[in-house]
Structure 1
Amino acid sequence: MEWQNKNQNRTHSGFNEENEMKWNGPYFFIQAADCQLGLIQRYIEKNSEPGWQKEIVLTKTAVEKINSLQQKPRFFVICGDLCDAFPSEEPALRAEQERDLKRILSNLDPSIPLVCVCGNHDVGNQPSSADLLAYQSAFGDDYFSFWCGGVFHIVVNSQFWHDRSLVKEEAEKQDHWLEEQLKTLNNSGAKFGIIFQHIPWFLNEYDEVDTADAYFSLRPEIRQKWLPKFKDAGVKVVFCGHYHRNAGGFFEELEMVTTSAIGGQLGSDESGMRIVKVFADHVKHEYFPFSQFPEKVLLNM
């Protein structure tokens, strides 16, 4: 199947809004993160020669596991760091990685919408306007929203909260847009909201302060501004990646879920994906290494 960018005009064409605004019973989706083609050889193995064959195998495995499910998920979302090479620093290498990634992901069952979220390696640690345009050209909008099964889903570019120094205008546009999306969620009759982003707001505790892992979460002052707004609007869960390990916690009843990588691991977890079950008033989820990924998902309580 030929690659198509389906997240355009701040929405995703894989979902019919009129139909999807209604609750039609429990459903499930697959959440993953950090295919990051090129990381293992560059960072973990410290090999000066670029290559990403191991990530190719792992990402192919992800697609094969999803396609083999007896009941198809409503969608497959990858929460950032699709590839490893930074777009502005190594554009030729980045283009090769994107080509291979798209070739693999194009084999996803066409009935399953693919939702791509941008990470720091996709738009840069200090993104520029050119970086954003390069990502948008390759993968579509860097932030957008869509309805699925009576639940409102919001995809955001978390890099704007990490460093917006070169893209203040673009970051402020997302801030304003996000405020409007939260109003939509609050006033639309949605069962609740789910947010997808790359960088976690926190790893385990809402009141975490700067630690050795500070790179892996957003600053407390940003967290304190946005998480109460999410909770008040009806967001139930925020799904993230970036940490290359599993983590999570709660801000009051708002859950933060950090999912380990499809690609290279930085802890004791194995490469895998998360199965997320959505019910009328709650969300259940479990991370499965590829070696334990089920062939059937039961939507029991």
Structure 2
Amino acid sequence: MATEEDMFLRAKDRSYRGLTEDEDKKWSGPFYFIQAADPQLGLMKAWKMGDCDGGGDEWDDEVRLTRQLVQAVNRLQPRPRFMVLCGDLVHAMPGVKAVFSGHYHRNAGASHDGLDMVVSSAVGCQLGTDPHGVRIVVVTGDRLVHRYHSLDQLSEKGVDEDLMNLLA
């Protein structure tokens, strides 16, 4: 069983060791993967209360089920080739200041009643003029600051200095 450190060290230089084109471009036989969807933290309590707009401030049931999922998948033999998690990750979160998403393949956003909707452009295929990249999100005790970084910028310069200073 790989350690957590080993698992995250496999992702390096815009590739994932153990799942690369060079190793996998020729068919080598059947395999399987796991597709999981909608952990939607907070929905179960909200649904039970009958208040899907205002409830959802507790995640205990969803966290228990998510842990059960991870434990079950880790025990499978043979191991799945990979696992993808799709759909709604969070239904409600106390104190939410921003919701981050993708799928639009360009940067966008809006704000309503103090809640920011932040859409980050893609690592992959761009539909607009935004560069391939990621959004850096810094959370402090009293602030949430985010900024989109191109992959080139992130590779060459790293995270903007003012964002790093917030972590000090």
- Please give the TM-score of this superposition, normalised by the length of structure 2: 0.50
Higher helix share: 1
> Which structure has the higher relative contact order (CA within 8 Å, separation 6+)?
1
Larger Rg computed on CA atoms: 2
- Please give the TM-score of this superposition, normalised by the length of structure 1: 0.30
